[in-house]
Amino acid sequence: MSRVNCIVCLKPVPDPRRWSELALDPITKTLRREGIPSLLNPLDKHALEEALRIKERSGGTVTVISMAPLTANDVLREAIAIGADGAVLLSHKSFAGADTLATSYVLAAAVKKLGEFDLLLCGNQSLDGGTGQVGPEIAEFLGIPHVTYVRRIDVLDRGAVRVERALEYGYMVIEGRMPLVLSVVDEINVPRHISLMRISDAMQAEIPVWTSRDLDIDSGRIGLLGSPTQVADLFLPTIKRRREMITGAPDTVSKLLIQKLRELGVL
């Protein structure tokens, strides 16, 4: 079996234990994350784990990339300590405020710059945004097929791959030819722990930072200005129930109840 080179997209997400402290900038409507620690998006850990398992079976390399603020360095070093061979950080103020489309555009440009690859893996969705859009959008920008909700990957001979796509009840089996983009769900594997033995090397690894100047991109398609969608507000919804007591004889109550339900459009 020939070697399979994987790229894994990673995203640092705000620690969910501190989500109550998150707020939107009132003017730019972008998320204010300062002071809130980030952690590696949980589903991306599954994507990284799967890439490492593919490498152990087939040989090849695992490169991790992320479009994020410079603090994402920690998350990339964590990925190297887990087992990735190398990392690239895409970080520039012009990337800030990007929605999924602008993010995928930049990530796809970086993937093109990295050169040929066999599989691009990412977590099916992020803990914070939760759209699940970036994986498929990257695939479209690269002009290659993608599969989402992947719960199993088998690399076959001659550049083919067989995946299982999770459905609500059961799963779908899909075969395809690499290169492919695959978005994985958590049932695919149990991620390994950071190895203490790799921490020292991970902390010393060189992680190049690519800015907008390093990529072949149209500046009008990146960042806040390149985002066709924008977050309007971020709030914790409170659910308030209206309560009305109807009393009387069963006959009267049932008639009144039917009338009310009709008024509310339920019946």
Partner 1 sequence: MEFGFTSEQEMLRKSAREFAEAEIRPRVRDMDETGKVPMDILDKMAKLGFMGVMIPREYGGLEMGHIARTIVLEEIGRVSAAMANTLQITHLGISPIVTDGTEDQKRRWLPMLARGEKLSTFAVTEPTGGSDVLGIQTTAKREGDEYVINGRKCFISNSHLAGVLGILAKTGEGPKGLTTFVVQSDSPGFRPGREENKFGLRGANTGELILENCRVPKENVLGKEGDGLRIALGTISNVGRPGINAAALGIIRSCLEEAVRYSKQRVLYGKPISELQAVQWNLTDIYMDYEASRLLTYYSAWLRDKGERCDAENAMAKFCATEAAVRCAKKTIDIFGAYGCMMEFAPQRLLRDAELFISGAGTSEIMRLVMIRKVLTLA
Q: Is residue 16 near partner 1 by the rule CB under 8 A?
A: no
Q: Is residue 203 near partner 1 by the rule CB under 8 A?
A: yes
Closer Cβ to partner 1, 89 or 147, answer by number? 89
Measured distance CA(5)–CA(14) in Å, rounded: 29
Query: What do you get for the CA distance between the two ends of the chain, in Å?
Result: 62
In the complex, minimum distance from the CB of residue 72 to partner 1, in angstroms, rounded to a whole number: 13
Stretches 55-63, 76-84, 153-161, 250-258: which one binds partner 1 (CB under 8 A)?
Answer: 76-84
Among 24, 69, 74, 174, binds partner 1 (CB under 8 A): 74
Q: What share of the chain is helix, strand, coil (3-state, %, to 5)?
A: 35, 25, 40
* Alpha helices (runs of H) in the chain, residue ranges in sequence order: 42-58, 73-82, 100-114, 134-142, 196-204, 250-263
Among 158, 193, 242, 243, binds partner 1 (CB under 8 A): 193
Measured distance CA(21)–CA(36) in Å, rounded: 8
Q: Is residue 200 near partner 1 by the rule CB under 8 A?
A: yes
Among 31, 36, 114, 199, binds partner 1 (CB under 8 A): 199
Measured distance CA(100)–CA(131) in Å, rounded: 8
Among 2, 131, 195, 229, binds partner 1 (CB under 8 A): 195
Site residues (CB under 8 A) for partner 1?
74, 77-78, 81, 193-197, 199-200, 202-203
